[in-house]
Amino acid sequence: MPAKTHLVTRGDDYRYIVRKGNRVGGANSITHAVLHVERDQPARFGFIVSKAVGNAVTRNRVRRRLKSIVDRRLAGGFAGADVVFRMLPRSAEASFQELEEETSRALDRVERLRAESR
């Protein structure tokens, strides 16, 4: 599980990232990302899993899977962005591998945007 320094915790931060961030759509989620000016700044992640995804057990399972995926990316050196994943109802039936592939694709795109903005 990511450390608290790697989590978006304030509602204002969630709103800012969702409204102003670059958007990457997928079958299971919509990813919003705001790039930091300083590339060394630690990445922060937020997760929006609404009741449309399912009951509490299902929502928490999806959130735990995402946190595990994010933890792997942080260990790989991902930094310099605030990212919010807004999960769609289809994510409840998605396997861990499907979620990981889609999340990796979205985070790879964020890294490409970072490289282009240099």
Interval 45-80: pLDDT, tens: 999 999 999 999 999 999 999 999 999 999 998 888
Q: Give the pLDDT confidence score for residue 1 in this predicted structure.
A: 61
Other CB atoms closer than 10 Å to residue 96's CB: what's the count? 13
Q: Give the pLDDT confidence score for residue 55 in this predicted structure.
A: 96
Interval 70-110: pLDDT, tens: 999 999 988 889 999 999 999 999 999 999 999 999 999 98
Q: Give the pLDDT confidence score for residue 99 in this predicted structure.
A: 95
Q: Give the pLDDT confidence score for residue 114 in this predicted structure.
A: 80
pTM equals: 0.90
User: What is the spatial distance between Cα 91 and Cα 66, in angstroms, rounded to a whole number?
Assistant: 11
Assign 118 a pLDDT band (cuts: 50, 70, 90).
low
User: What is the spatial distance between Cα 44 and Cα 41, in angstroms, rounded to a whole number?
Assistant: 9
